[in-house]
């Protein structure tokens, strides 16, 4: 009963958000995930100090301007860098440059990977359902489980509206804020090997796909700042009318999670996933191209 009640509430919020957006803009409504800052304030307030919470919320609200008026990409990068520092010092008091740098790089990769996955209906929702399903089933903390359940219900209601083309988008600011939540959850669960291995297994393919496209565009001497439709799910979407482009995230995650049970958490596990996912992705790209011809 509670599930259906929250789905109804979130659906109503999505509907009102679309209506309000359309009164002031001709663009497709986007950035709906910004509304998660309201309930997440209570999670943040219970786990982090006042200044960390304020910085996270302020940075997210400023980032929302990108969905409204499209701010310069350098401002987006700056906001990503700043919030990675806030997250690091929320869990650490020591200034260890290598750890700060690794934390920054991983966060930049995560937030921009989610941005690149937000290019077709339901694709980003599916990936986030996999990620927060992992937190819900494998977390050692009740508050994390409860918050993840909240996000999953939100994503289900969002999917109803995102299913229809050009009706409601998740948006860059939503990817930014949801990346912060994923990062905070992961930091608090670093000793939970099963959860961290599963998270790595789910996110490896999208990350490999991003770097594959970047490498390809560099090889072709293309401007990396221009929009492209070269990600694997986008290629499938152009070839097929059905939502078959949702399959890669499911299949790669399933394969990686299956493989993860034979590895302990460590660099060898990550290297193996990156290599196998890269090889499979290259073969899949070539196969799709041959089928198209």
**Phi and psi based region of residue 221 (left: phi greater than 0; alpha: psi -120 to 50; beta: remaining):** left
- pTM confidence score: 0.94
DSSP structure string for 226-249: S----SHHHHHHHH-SSSGGGHHH
Which stretch, 25-39, 153-167, 236-250, 259-273, has highest mean pLDDT? 259-273
Neighbours of 115 (CB within 10 A): 19
Each residue of 150-164: pLDDT tens digit? 899 999 999 988 877
Query: Which pLDDT value is given to residue 52?
Result: 87
Q: How far apart are CA 3 and CA 10, in angstroms?
A: 11
pLDDT at res. 34: 86
| Token couple for 228 | 């492209």
168 neighbors 162 (Cβ within 8 angstroms)? yes
Average pLDDT estimate for 221-245? 83
Task: Supply the DSSP string of 111-174, one letter for each residue.
Answer: HHHHHHHTTSTTHHHHHHHHHHHHHHHH-S-HHHHHHHHHHHHHHHHHHHHHTSTTS----HHH
Dist. CA 249–CA 122, nearest whole Å: 11
CB 216 within 8 A of CB 201: no
Specify the DSSP class assigned to residue 263. Answer: S
Residue 81: C-alpha distances to residues 56, 101, 244 (Å)? 12, 10, 35
- Tens of pLDDT, residue by residue over 85-105, are 999 999 988 899 999 999 999
Contact 29, 21 (CB under 8 A): yes
Tell me which of 2 and 20 has the higher pLDDT.
Answer: 20
Q: Which string of DSSP letters, residue by residue, matches 16-43? A: HHHHHHHHH-SSPP--GGGGGHHHHHHH
Confidence band (pLDDT; 50, 70, 90) for 239?
confident
* pLDDT the model gives residue 131: 98
Contact 117, 127 (CB under 8 A): yes
Domain boundaries of the chain, sorted by first residue: 1-191, 192-293
At 107-138, the pLDDT tens digits run: 999 999 999 998 887 899 999 999 999 999 99
Tokens coding 165: 């083309």
* Residue, of 291 and 134, whose pLDDT is higher: 134
Contact 227, 70 (CB under 8 A): no
Residue 50 has pLDDT above 70, yes or no: yes
Q: How many CB atoms lie within 10 A of CB 241?
A: 7
Overall average pLDDT of the 66-71 stretch: 85
């Amino acid at each position: 009963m509670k599930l259906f009640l929250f789905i109804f509430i979130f659906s109503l919020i999505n509907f009102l958000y679309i209506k309000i957006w359309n009164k002031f803009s001709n663009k497709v409504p986007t950035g709906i995930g910004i509304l998660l800052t309201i309930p997440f304030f209570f999670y943040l307030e219970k786990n982090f100090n006042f200044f960390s919470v304020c910085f996270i919320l302020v940075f997210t609200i400023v980032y929302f301007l990108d969905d409204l008026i499209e701010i310069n990409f350098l401002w987006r990068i700056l906001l990503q860098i700043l919030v990675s520092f806030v997250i690091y010092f929320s869990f650490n008091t020591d200034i260890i440059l290598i750890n700060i740098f690794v934390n920054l790089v991983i966060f930049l990769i995560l937030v921009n990977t989610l941005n690149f996955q937000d290019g077709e209906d339901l694709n980003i929702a599916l990936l986030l359902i996999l990620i927060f399903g992992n937190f819900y089933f494998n977390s050692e903390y009740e508050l994390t489980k409860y918050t993840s359940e909240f996000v999953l219900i939100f994503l289900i209601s969002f999917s109803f509206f995102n299913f229809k083309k050009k009706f409601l988008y998740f948006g860059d600011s939503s990817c930014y804020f949801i990346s912060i939540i994923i990062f905070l959850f992961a930091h608090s669960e670093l000793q939970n090997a099963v959860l961290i291995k599963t998270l790595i297994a789910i996110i490896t393919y999208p990350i490999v796909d991003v770097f594959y496209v970047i490498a390809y565009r560099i090889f072709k001497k293309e401007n990396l700042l221009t929009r492209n439709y070269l990600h694997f799910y986008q290629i499938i979407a152009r070839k097929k009318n059905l939502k078959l482009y949702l399959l890669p995230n499911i299949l790669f995650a399933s394969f990686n999670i299956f493989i993860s049970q034979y590895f302990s958490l460590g660099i060898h596990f990550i290297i193996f996933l990156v290599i196998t996912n890269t090889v499979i992705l290259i073969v899949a790209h070539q196969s799709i191209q041959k089928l198209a011809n």
